[in-house]
Amino acid sequence: MTDLARMGWELHAIATFAGHRHTDSTLAHIHLSGRDLADKLSFGMEQIHGWRVQMLARLGEHATGTVAL
């Protein structure tokens, strides 16, 4: 289950796959290190940053009346 969590599976999906009725059971079997958690946070922040840059670029296009191809 730890490997599935490292691959980015959602907790509920792991619980369903494992046949657990409650996610508490699943959490007891997932062992992520501080490095694993830091990597997940870093990846998530990169995605958020990329999304923000895209949104700001779109706002800039609308404000100037230009559209990027």
* Mean pLDDT score across all residues of the chain: 90
Q: What's the total number of domains in the chain?
A: 2
By percentage, how much of the chain surpasses pLDDT 70?
Answer: 94
Looking at residue 41, its amino acid is: L
- Six token digits for residue 11: 């907790």
Instruction: Quote the pLDDT of residue 48.
Output: 97
> What's the domain range around 40?
33-69
Q: Is the pLDDT of residue 49 over 60?
A: yes
Residue among 26, 6, 22, 24 nearest 14 (CA): 26
Tens-place pLDDT, residues 13-42: 999 999 999 999 999 999 999 999 999 899
Of the two residues 54 and 65, the one the predictor is more confident about is: 54
User: Domain check: are 26 and 57 in the same one?
Assistant: no
Q: Are residues 15 and 45 in the same domain?
A: no
